[in-house]
A and B are shown apart, each in its own frame.
Chain A
Amino acid sequence: MKRKSSNEFTLEFLSRSANEGFARMAVACFAAQMDPTLNELEDIKTAVSEAVTNAIVHAYPNALGKVTVHGRICEGNVLEITVKDRGRGIPDVNQARQPMFTTGGEERSGMGFTIMESFMDHLVVKSVVGRGTSVQMRKKLSSRLKVQK
Chain B
Amino acid sequence: MELNAKSTDRNLLLELSGELDHHGARDAIAETERAIDAALPRRLMLDFSGVTFMDSSGIALILRAQKRMQNLGGSMVVCHVPQQAKRVLEAAGICRLVAVR
Contact = CB atoms under 8 A, between A and B. Distances in A.
Contacts of A118: 91
Interface extent on A, as a size class? 20 to 34
B22 A53 contact: yes
Interface stretch (B4-12, B43-51, B56-64): B56-64
Interface in A1-46: 17-18, 20-21, 24, 39, 42-43, 45-46
A111 B92 contact: yes
**SS class of chain B's interface: helix, strand, loop or mixed?**
helix
Nearest to A106: B64
Contacts of A110: 56
Contact of A50 (B23, B55, B83, B84): B55
A115 B60 contact: no
B99 to A, nearest CB: 18
A118 B88 CA distance: 9
A29 B61 CA distance: 28
Top 6 closest pairs, chain A to chain B, by CB: A17-B23, A109-B59, A118-B91, A109-B60, A111-B56, A111-B92
Given A42-B87, A46-B87, A109-B57, 8 more contacts: A17-B21, A17-B26, A45-B53, A46-B84, A49-B22, A108-B56, A110-B56, A114-B92
9 contacts: A17-B23, A21-B19, A42-B87, A107-B22, A108-B22, A108-B56, A115-B55, A118-B91, A119-B91
